[in-house]
Chains A and B, each alone.
Chain A
């Protein structure tokens, strides 16, 4: 067992982990942050995406020990300080970008990473970026609309082009 310390959603946390403990296990089982989900075992579905030092990471593919000393952000840390939905979360609700909600945390975390690097993505860029996030419910249409809206673009105008 190794002791790891990291900042998760702005709070310093530490815990004992084994060498093979995945970051997702540390978050879900160790910290009870169950918003991060596990939808596959081959690092493809993206339900487990979190931010590590500002980068989108599939937490099922990173050891907890590798995140020692890092700044980690999960879906539980995404809302505004007053608890209201942030602009991306709000856009997902406004545009019906989620149904069962299982892929949603990963989608929101990926969307946030995309918009940090590319604040006004084209529709094709959004679709391309979501290659690593699978949703079975929505058919992606409303997820794409939500992300475009969260970037401040006029979705009906894009749809009319």
Chain B
């Protein structure tokens, strides 16, 4: 019988009621009395020198409050990058300036040149058209290979070249070369991890407000981490101390990474609200989002896998070019390095793993973390090259993986991380069972009878979540700690507010977090509310990304609740005239062990606030505790995925006929929400594999800047429910956090792209197209058709 409350239950989400009745409070729903509106005049060129910006005509247009250009931001800080990478020569990465509004040059289509603040949005837009720009267009660098050529046009004139860093990591060259030299077989694969746009359905919004009365700023913004925005914008850009800056991220309509970062528009609205002495609001259009939200992925990689004569993996070596775009977004530098290189061992006991990454500046929108962030790129390379190796060697791809699995834990990889626990055999076996691998031959035959090619794709994945141990990431260049915090405030009548640093923008924290506290205290979940998304209400927090909310912030909440329990037991002991070491808490009752003497939760909480009969000499009144939690290690969710596709040999169209995921997330607090996270991740992975591509032409013009050109997955792109299973029954609990949880938010997006591509290649081989060893994503009908026909 499944549990109906507490840890392991799937109560209906309490946040749903407001979202289903139109009562959500998203940032664009917030209007501050007297607000003005800003419209950003953005560059329509990829690269150019700004000679002159003449705003004189525009300033006289109706409704215009003030027009800002880069000159207004001289002396104001630029947008910071939060992670310094040291390259293989020991030098710090190149870190170009990133002004709030362009200064001197435009460097990508969408770069904000001027900002018009007006009484209405329409007036702001109209006035922007009257700004006269004198910009000399320069050649654009778009292709990373060309950007690295000697003599290439430079994105930043003050840097030596377009190379941000050249990073090497893992096994040393001598060891790696020796392993390749001794190999019986080497498989090499060149591949592209396509540039994507995260596309949360809610576009970004910022509303800046300023109070002259007490010199206080408020920013309402669509953020996954309001405290991080307060820190970055306050300390590095605008010079506002934390106690004078409140950042509010209310209901946020999806993030997927792209709402982690500190953006120019947030800083602008905060700055302009004071400068104009009026609240200033910006609401992104979808077209603006495509050219101003940080993009994701965009890696070009050569990967080599060395195997011995018995097909044991000996070594992996990768050479990746990673696109940074025109500026370093907040965590851009960490994605192709520490979030990617550390995962290159995958689920396998490969003795030597060496990762090489060149990060490159180009005249494109900045690239940063998108769901999975580095880990999908690692998984895609590794699981594609293993599949290719299996095909070259004529061995079963499942058997080849199984033979090389890590089976002993903890396991220290050659790429710096230590997997605490896992069972890759269990998820593989679960996947095989749910997929009915044995029945594939018959299903292929049935497809072939219809004139279709059918392929089976399998792969494993591992990720590092629960980001992250602060002392470790500090050594690796992070300019922030990555702990989290929670305050448990117990009120006199026993109800509880839990202030958490994690931010929910779809993850359901308001439902899940109370399940944990209720289980610990034995009280009804309905007595517990979660407060998040407002720096004025929450002690601190690093926000939600990297599948960290429950593993890190949830752990802080557990620690704070433990402190509550300890104090409450002291109060109960006093009320019951017993030692607090003899007090047990069960089902909301404090009992003296071995007796029938008890006192209820509500009596203890009331005593804490009405301390007439209270051990005032030993403990303070009140019942509120805060805990900060810094994880001891990353968590390592892992799994095995499989899908079957049909390929139409006439058109190259790929249809996913069956999909199974078998994940190990450790302990699961709310199975319904975990499955929902995996569904969403897999849809994004299918989108990457089959549909989505952010395309630039050679001049740096963005070709996919709307939903007419960027193919978002629709409902009919996802397998029907009869042939789609997401499973998380294999559970090896995390060994180092109190809940034993690993995180589930990114798994689907990490695990699924290679599954789909492996299946397509398998289908083509079954149709005799054995010359096709790889097709880059998105595996569109035209690409499949061209591959089949040798074009």
Interface residues of A (CB under 8 A from B): 28, 33-42, 44-45, 47, 74-76, 78-79, 85, 89, 92-94, 96, 98-105, 108, 123-124, 126-128, 130-131, 133-145, 155, 158-161
Partner of A136 from the list B17, B23, B256, B718 (CB cut-off 8 Å) is B256
Residues of A within 8 A of B202 (CB): 37, 39, 100, 102
Q: Which interface residue of B21, B676, B720 has the most chain A CB atoms within 10 A?
A: B21
Name 20 extra pairs, CB < 8 A, besides A136-B199, A138-B680: A34-B29, A37-B28, A37-B202, A39-B202, A42-B286, A45-B286, A45-B707, A98-B20, A100-B251, A100-B254, A102-B26, A102-B201, A130-B715, A133-B715, A136-B254, A136-B684, A139-B713, A140-B679, A159-B721, A161-B722
Closest 7 A/B residue pairs (Cβ): A35-B22, A101-B19, A102-B253, A139-B683, A100-B506, A99-B506, A139-B679
Flag if B24 contacts A35 (CB, 8 Å).
yes
Flag if A40 contacts B17 (CB, 8 Å).
no
With an 8 A cutoff between CB atoms, is B508 at the interface?
A: yes
With an 8 A cutoff between CB atoms, is B706 at the interface?
A: yes
Give the residue name and chain of the B residue nearest to A94 (CB). Answer: B12
Report the minimal beta-carbon distance from A147 to chain B, rounded to whole angstroms: 10
Flag if B22 contacts A41 (CB, 8 Å).
no
Interface pairs (24), CB distance under 8 Å: A34-B28, A34-B29, A37-B202, A42-B706, A75-B20, A93-B12, A93-B20, A96-B673, A99-B506, A99-B680, A101-B506, A102-B26, A127-B715, A134-B712, A136-B200, A136-B254, A136-B256, A137-B201, A139-B748, A140-B683, A141-B724, A142-B676, A145-B721, A158-B721
Partner of A41 from the list B252, B253, B706, B724 (CB cut-off 8 Å) is B706
Residues of B within 8 A of A123 (CB): 720-721
Flag if B679 contacts A138 (CB, 8 Å).
yes
Flag if B20 contacts A85 (CB, 8 Å).
yes
Residues of B within 8 A of A134 (CB): 201, 707, 712, 714
A69 to B88 CA separation, bound complex (whole angstroms):
70
Residues of A within 8 A of B708 (CB): 42, 44
A38 to B20 CA separation, bound complex (whole angstroms):
16
Residues of A within 8 A of B13 (CB): 93, 96, 98
Q: Indicate whether A98 sits within 8 Å of B19 (C-beta atoms), given known contacts A34-B29, A139-B680.
A: yes
Report the minimal beta-carbon distance from A109 to chain B, rounded to whole angstroms: 10
Report the minimal beta-carbon distance from A152 to chain B, rounded to whole angstroms: 17
Report the minimal beta-carbon distance from A148 to chain B, rounded to whole angstroms: 8
Flag if B20 contacts A100 (CB, 8 Å).
no
Flag if B722 contacts A141 (CB, 8 Å).
no
Q: Which interface residue of B29, B201, B287, B724 has the most chain A CB atoms within 10 A?
A: B201
Give the residue name and chain of the A residue nearest to B19 (CB). Answer: A101
Give the secondary structure class of A's interface.
loop
Flag if B22 contacts A75 (CB, 8 Å).
yes
Q: Which interface residue of B203, B251, B682, B721 has the most chain A CB atoms within 10 A?
A: B721
Report the minimal beta-carbon distance from B31 to chain A, rounded to whole angstroms: 8
Flag if A131 contacts B715 (CB, 8 Å).
yes
Residues of A within 8 A of B683 (CB): 138-141
Give the residue name and chain of the A residue nearest to B705 (CB). Answer: A42
Residues of B within 8 A of A38 (CB): 28, 203
Partner of A40 from the list B24, B682, B706, B714 (CB cut-off 8 Å) is B706
Residues of A within 8 A of B706 (CB): 40-42, 44
Give the residue name and chain of the A residue nearest to B706 (CB). Answer: A42
A102 to B199 CA separation, bound complex (whole angstroms):
12
With an 8 A cutoff between CB atoms, is B716 at the interface?
A: yes
**Chain B 762-781 interface residues, beta-carbon cutoff 8 Å to A:** none
A94 to B11 CA separation, bound complex (whole angstroms):
9
A96 to B715 CA separation, bound complex (whole angstroms):
16
A24 to B681 CA separation, bound complex (whole angstroms):
30
Flag if A96 contacts B722 (CB, 8 Å).
no
With an 8 A cutoff between CB atoms, is B505 at the interface?
A: yes
With an 8 A cutoff between CB atoms, is B655 at the interface?
A: no
Residues of B within 8 A of A45 (CB): 201, 286, 707
Partner of B21 from the list A79, A127, A137, A141 (CB cut-off 8 Å) is A79
With an 8 A cutoff between CB atoms, is B285 at the interface?
A: yes
With an 8 A cutoff between CB atoms, is B672 at the interface?
A: yes
Residues of B within 8 A of A42 (CB): 286-287, 706-708
Flag if A92 contacts B716 (CB, 8 Å).
no
Residues of A within 8 A of B311 (CB): none
Q: Which interface residue of B203, B251, B253, B722 has the most chain A CB atoms within 10 A?
A: B253
Interface string of B665-681 (1 = CB under 8 A from A): 00000001101100111
A89 to B21 CA separation, bound complex (whole angstroms):
8
Flag if B253 contacts A100 (CB, 8 Å).
yes
Flag if B722 contacts A158 (CB, 8 Å).
yes
Report the minimal beta-carbon distance from B515 to chain A, rounded to whole angstroms: 15
A155 to B724 CA separation, bound complex (whole angstroms):
14
Report the minimal beta-carbon distance from B705 to chain A, rounded to whole angstroms: 10
Flag if B21 contacts A75 (CB, 8 Å).
yes
Report the minimal beta-carbon distance from A60 to chain B, rounded to whole angstroms: 10
Flag if B201 contacts A39 (CB, 8 Å).
yes
Flag if A159 contacts B200 (CB, 8 Å).
no
A124 to B717 CA separation, bound complex (whole angstroms):
11
Partner of B203 from the list A39, A98, A127, A133 (CB cut-off 8 Å) is A39
Q: Indicate whether A108 sits within 8 Å of B201 (C-beta atoms), given known contacts A41-B286, A131-B715.
A: no
Report the minimal beta-carbon distance from B584 to chain A, rounded to whole angstroms: 36
Flag if A124 contacts B720 (CB, 8 Å).
yes
With an 8 A cutoff between CB atoms, is B91 at the interface?
A: no
Partner of A160 from the list B673, B713, B722 (CB cut-off 8 Å) is B722
Flag if B718 contacts A141 (CB, 8 Å).
yes
A3 to B724 CA separation, bound complex (whole angstroms):
52
Give the residue name and chain of the A residue nearest to B14 (CB). Answer: A93
Residues of A within 8 A of B254 (CB): 99-100, 102, 136-137
With an 8 A cutoff between CB atoms, is B172 at the interface?
A: no
Flag if B714 contacts A159 (CB, 8 Å).
no
Flag if A98 contacts B715 (CB, 8 Å).
no
Q: Indicate whether A85 sits within 8 Å of B17 (C-beta atoms), given known contacts A41-B706, A123-B721, A140-B718.
A: yes
Give the residue name and chain of the B residue nearest to A34 (CB). Answer: B29
Residues of B within 8 A of A139 (CB): 679-684, 713, 718, 748
Flag if B20 contacts A108 (CB, 8 Å).
yes
Flag if B716 contacts A128 (CB, 8 Å).
yes
Interface string of B707-750 (1 = CB under 8 A from A): 11000111110101110100000000000000000000000100
Residues of A within 8 A of B587 (CB): none
A28 to B24 CA separation, bound complex (whole angstroms):
13
Flag if A130 contacts B714 (CB, 8 Å).
yes
Flag if B19 contacts A104 (CB, 8 Å).
yes
Report the minimal beta-carbon distance from A101 to chain B, rounded to whole angstroms: 3
Residues of B within 8 A of A145 (CB): 721
With an 8 A cutoff between CB atoms, is B507 at the interface?
A: yes
A74 to B716 CA separation, bound complex (whole angstroms):
26
Partner of B15 from the list A75, A101, A103 (CB cut-off 8 Å) is A101
Flag if A101 contacts B679 (CB, 8 Å).
no
Flag if B707 contacts A44 (CB, 8 Å).
yes
Report the minimal beta-carbon distance from A39 to chain B, rounded to whole angstroms: 5
Flag if B287 contacts A41 (CB, 8 Å).
yes
Report the minimal beta-carbon distance from A58 to chain B, rounded to whole angstroms: 12
Q: Indicate whether A41 sits within 8 Å of B714 (C-beta atoms), given known contacts A100-B253, A101-B251.
A: no
Report the minimal beta-carbon distance from B786 to chain A, rounded to whole angstroms: 27
Q: Which interface residue of B673, B681, B682, B712 has the most chain A CB atoms within 10 A?
A: B712
A33 to B24 CA separation, bound complex (whole angstroms):
11
Report the minimal beta-carbon distance from B695 to chain A, rounded to whole angstroms: 17
Residues of A within 8 A of B715 (CB): 126-128, 130-131, 133, 135, 140, 143-144
With an 8 A cutoff between CB atoms, is B137 at the interface?
A: no
Flag if B721 contacts A141 (CB, 8 Å).
yes
Flag if B716 contacts A127 (CB, 8 Å).
yes
With an 8 A cutoff between CB atoms, is B582 at the interface?
A: no
Residues of A within 8 A of B199 (CB): 136
Residues of B within 8 A of A135 (CB): 201, 715
Residues of B within 8 A of A124 (CB): 716, 720
Report the minimal beta-carbon distance from A80 to chain B, rounded to whole angstroms: 11
Give the residue name and chain of the B residue nearest to A90 (CB). Answer: B20
Q: Which interface residue of B256, B708, B720 has the most chain A CB atoms within 10 A?
A: B720
